[in-house]
Amino acid sequence: FYALLVGRPPYPGRSLAQLWQAHSHGPIPRPSRDRPGIPARLDSVVARALAKTPEDRYPTCRAFTAAAAEALDIEPSTVPEAATADAVATRLDSVQA
């Protein structure tokens, strides 16, 4: 998400070791500082999404989307629930019948 906002990855580095070091121990970058025009109120949303420990991140993509939409003062788009294999099979059966 950070790369989509800013146009580059959040952490510099050419090797996996450099990237791991930056991601594990470096500060979480603020998109508003790295790209003018991004609202500062989105920084905390991105910081939580990039949190070092999974427990500190958003529990779901839906929660992340809602937080980003709120920070940007927009309505989140509605994304249908993911289809399960059973739901797809049922749908295929009804189409073939």
* Tens place of pLDDT per residue across the chain (97 aa): 889 889 999 988 889 999 999 888 999 999 999 998 899 999 999 999 999 999 999 999 989 999 999 998 887 665 556 666 776 667 666 666 5
- The rounded distance, in Å, linking the Cα atoms of 30 and 27 is 9
**For the structural domain made of 2-96, what CATH number should be given?**
1.10.510.10
Can you give the residue ranges of every domain in the chain?
Answer: 2-96
- The rounded distance, in Å, linking the Cα atoms of 40 and 63 is 19
Structure token digits, residue 37: 């025009």
**pTM over 0.85, yes/no:** no
Alpha helices for the chain (secondary structure H):
2-6, 16-25, 31-34, 43-49, 61-72, 85-96
